[in-house]
Chains A and B, each alone.
Chain A
Amino acid sequence: MKRAASIVLAAVLVIGVGVAIYLGNSGSGAQKSRTDLSIVKGVIGSEKAAFFNDQRVQDAFAQHGLKVEVDTAGSRQIATSVDLDKYDFAFPSSTPAAEKIQRERKITQTYAPFYSPMVIASFRPIVDVLARQGVAKKDADGTWTFDMAAYLELAKKGTRWDQLPGNTTYPVRKNVLVRTTDPRNSNSAAMYLAITSHVLNGDAVVQGSADAQKVLPLVSRLFLEQGYTATTSEQPFDDYLSLGMGNTPLLFLYEAQFVDRAIRDDGSITADMVLMYPSPSVLSKHTVVPLNDKGSQVGKLLVEDPQLQELAATSGFRTTRPAQFAQVVKDHKVLVRTNVVDLIDPPTYETLERLLAAIGRTYEAKGAGPAPKDEELR
């Protein structure tokens, strides 16, 4: 009986997108059993909202007597401005953000239950245009590679879509720019910075201020020229899906976001949507930082519970067992790259923060040029 009630309860708890949450609202059993579960509150990167919103995930936690409630925020917001006292765990999307919380809160153990490579979502006509420029390349397995160096050449010149030779399909008077989140508070933007700074630094991890100096003028432009950017990766992905190519021709995101939507098969991923793997790319390691014992329990379950690991794979994440993910994408006919090999290491937390801070300052500048000055780098 308790189990059945928990299932109903899970339905009540489902919080996200497009779910008829009211189904479970009837029946006094649901109301009553609320008290049976221990509530655990977490603040997570928005790209994991779909996972936590999944009824099966809520159900799996309920089997362990837990009701997990989550708020979403940008991963760097989680590491900086979110009031963590309200939560039992934080679940940012990257190691650097997790490390910062870990250090500040003096937490010894963290959990990394799954990861996701950073990718670029686009549309067939755009990919074709970029292929002619040598920016997009098709691999033997049918997946696409997005050549970062070639793209950065276009970006450096401020090339607009309507300036690309032979581009009749998307002759838009806007710069060829990959859309990202806000570098001041979101992890995926920091991941983008990790990649672009690496390429601009001559394929080497940025270390120290001379390197930073070299890359900052262009990487700042890559963000500033986009104008307003959202704080979470879910928002631009929403735009990509529902407002389409005109709105968001190129989007930097977590592979899991795209794969999750494809797996759900709800009609949101259409035939002309294409996933590209940046060359090089970087992995986002989603890391649970427990803030108390209840939070630890969640982290531990996510790593150890076979059902939750399986569900993570069906939410588009790559888990510790590659076969799981491979099976899921095969079952749902999602075209992903099996082995993402061209990967870089992100700069250290301190370097990344310093770069992000320098970029952040350019947002406050009133003048035209976003290029930061020497002293701003300390």
Chain B
Amino acid sequence: MRWWGARVGRGRRVFVAGILAVSALLGAACSTSEEKNVSTGPGKAGELRVLAGSELADLEPILTEAAKKTGVTVRFTFAGTLDGVQQVIDGTTRDRYDAIWFSSNRYLSLHPESAGKTATETKVMTSPVVLGLAASKAKELGWSSGAQVTWADVAEAAGAGKFTYGMTNPASSNSGFSALVGVAAALAGTGAALEQPDVDKVAPQLEKFFSAQKLTAGSSGWLSDAYAERSTGKQSGTKVDGIVNYESVLLSLNASGRLPEPLTLIYPSDGVVTADYPLTLLSSATDQVAEGYRALVGYLRSPDVQREIMVRTHRRPAIPQVKVDKAFGPASLVELPFPAKLGVADGLINTYFDKLRRPARTIYVLDVSGSMSGDRIESLRNALVKLTGADDTVAGKFQRFHGREEVTLLPFSSSPESPQTFTVPEKSPDTALADIRAAAMALESGGGTAVYDSVLQAYDQLKSESQGDYATSIVLMTDGENTTGSRLDGFKQAHSTFPPRLRQIPIFTILFGEGSTDEMNQLATLTGGRSFDAREGSLESAFQEIRGYQ
């Protein structure tokens, strides 16, 4: 469900969940390990190498059966949609993948370079992006099932502080992007596909809607788990009244028995944006592979398998012979137009970051101890520089520090160094970005590792900052064990005495070098954050991935 991420082919990507390990993540991890078996070179009969969105991990049982029936084994490599788009348009999919399978090809098709890169696409299932609210909250708002609710109603209530919700980052995950497109199109109310002036015109209403977004995430799966675990109090972190996500994710949550009260699914009457999961053969696929593809899609679209997909994954069938089960919302939903122009889609994403969303405030607590010298400090510098606009890939260009965002670099060794804070202005961000770049390049290594003193220092700074309406988080990168000052126990103790405002700030930890996996996971869990593994991937991709959660 992530849009972007590490180029998985260049290094195995393993997620270490800072929260309870959950099915989607387990699926991702185990299938990613399968990647080692994926061959390079022209495709072979009996195998389909698929670059796919991680949410498709839930199809594993169906694909295992498909392999028995059709003789075609699907080998998944998971990547974010935007990363997938990049790989298709620059041709790096050749000889590595035979097909792509993401929640939608719409954004890909906006890129003129994608012409001729894909051969045939076949929709396998669909799921609209809708709002799920805790039943009691929905009732309170008069939105119990069957009520006519428009996106304007939702934006109005959100702006009035009547409910809060979580949503994925539109540049990281398709569900967030679909929601952004949907709510913008609906509020613009022009009846036609969005144009940039429409976006500007409805910005005030959109701001209202996004002011209630108190939780953000880089993946739909993580968001769904965080919602479930937080609603029962099993996980720390900000609690929200609901989430914007795929209908399938919301129905799965309701069916899981993990929620204290079910979610009421709100299908705005002015429309939705629907994911349609097209399994797409790449033009570079060999004849034998194409034959296998045809057999596979024929099987996947057969009525029995479509029914099986509906029951297991709560996604809607793609063929008319199989009717939607009663458990789903309205059988026919109004589809809001998806932008026709790349400039409008990208402009909408940029507007979201620079103007619409609550701005991010982040303290980067960065280990520059002696062990970081050499390649490590260099890759840390590069990872930060990438976020200042130095990455112009499809995925990377949205990961930069955005307008209104507040970024603090807090390097530490034997003790925390003095923090440097930068505010990126909404317009003309270049100077601020250059300043961050310069500060990153100036990082030098040496000395011991005072992890917890430095993290406590970060909280100190946040305590004294003007409150404002920020999405605040701490990123902690260390490559070694804590050697100096407070220890984890001491930190936990201090943390428990913090006021709620500070206790709710998530720490995103990065596993790197010889840092303690256990302690980093504990920190993430304690604070409602998440840990990211940069040991087998790179610091760069970990920093980029964390952008989805900030």
Residues of A within 8 A of B (CB): 14-22, 25, 41, 53, 69, 71-73, 77, 81-83, 86, 158, 160-161, 172-175, 177, 182, 185, 221, 223-229, 231-232, 235, 238-239, 241-248, 261, 266-268, 363-368
Contacts and interface: CB of A to CB of B under 8 A. Distances in A.
Given A14-B298, A18-B302, A41 B287 contact: yes
A172 B320 contact: no
B302 A19 contact: yes
Contacts of A16: 294, 298, 301
B196 A227 contact: no
Interface string B471-486: 0000000000000000
A227 B339 contact: yes
B334 A175 contact: no
A77 B302 CA distance: 28
Most chain-B CB neighbours within 10 Å: which of A18, A53, A247, A248? A18
Given A71-B120, A228-B109, A266-B321, A247 B193 contact: no
Contacts of A19: 298, 302
22 contacts: A14-B298, A17-B298, A18-B301, A18-B302, A18-B303, A21-B295, A53-B298, A73-B120, A83-B283, A158-B190, A173-B189, A177-B192, A225-B191, A226-B193, A227-B340, A229-B340, A243-B332, A246-B271, A246-B334, A247-B335, A266-B320, A268-B320
A247 B301 CA distance: 20
Contact of B333 (A17, A69, A246, A366): A246
Contacts of B303: 18
Interface string B336-375: 1111111110010000000000000000000000000000
B339 A228 contact: yes
A246 B332 contact: yes
Contacts of B337: 174, 225-228
B331 interface: yes
A268 B319 contact: yes
Interface string B521-548: 0000000000000000000000000000
B295 A225 contact: no
A287 to B, nearest CB: 21
Contact of B109 (A160, A223, A231): A231
Nearest to B68: A22
B191 A174 contact: yes
Given A174-B191, A226-B337, A18 B332 contact: no
Interface stretch (B111-119, B238-246, B249-257): B111-119
B333 A158 contact: no
Contacts of B162: none
B340 A15 contact: no
Nearest to A229: B340
B70 A246 contact: no
B63 to A, nearest CB: 14
- Among A69, A174, A367, the most chain B Cβ lie within 10 Å of the Cβ of A174
B113 to A, nearest CB: 11
B193 to A, nearest CB: 3
Contacts of B192: 158, 174-175, 177, 221, 224-227
Contacts, number: 174
A178 B153 CA distance: 28
Interface in B180-238: 186, 189-198
Nearest to B341: A363
B126 interface: yes
Nearest to A16: B298
A268 B342 CA distance: 34
B318 interface: yes
B341 A173 contact: no
B340 A363 contact: yes
A228 B271 contact: no
B317 interface: yes
A58 to B, nearest CB: 12
Given A18-B302, A172-B334, A246-B333, A227 B191 contact: no
Given A364-B342, A368-B195, 20 more contacts: A15-B298, A16-B294, A16-B301, A71-B119, A71-B281, A77-B115, A83-B116, A86-B287, A172-B334, A173-B271, A175-B190, A175-B191, A224-B192, A225-B191, A227-B339, A228-B339, A242-B319, A243-B335, A246-B271, A268-B319
A244 B301 contact: no
A152 B274 CA distance: 28
A364 B333 CA distance: 29
B331 A244 contact: yes
A267 B334 contact: no
A82 B190 CA distance: 36
A158 B191 contact: yes
Nearest to A240: B320
B330 interface: yes
B109 A227 contact: no
Contact of B197 (A22, A185, A368): A368
Contacts of A158: 190-192
B320 A241 contact: yes
Contacts of B332: 243-247
B270 interface: yes
A101 to B, nearest CB: 15
A241 B281 CA distance: 23
B119 A238 contact: no
B426 to A, nearest CB: 20
B291 A25 contact: no
A160 B69 contact: no
Contacts of B294: 15-16
B121 interface: yes
A174 B182 CA distance: 13
Contacts of A363: 340-341
A69 B288 CA distance: 11
Nearest to B324: A242
A177 B190 CA distance: 13
B69 to A, nearest CB: 4
B123 interface: yes
Contacts of B340: 223-224, 226-229, 363
Given A172-B334, A173-B189, A242-B319, A69 B291 contact: yes
A224 B192 CA distance: 8
Contact of A235 (B121, B271, B334, B335): B121
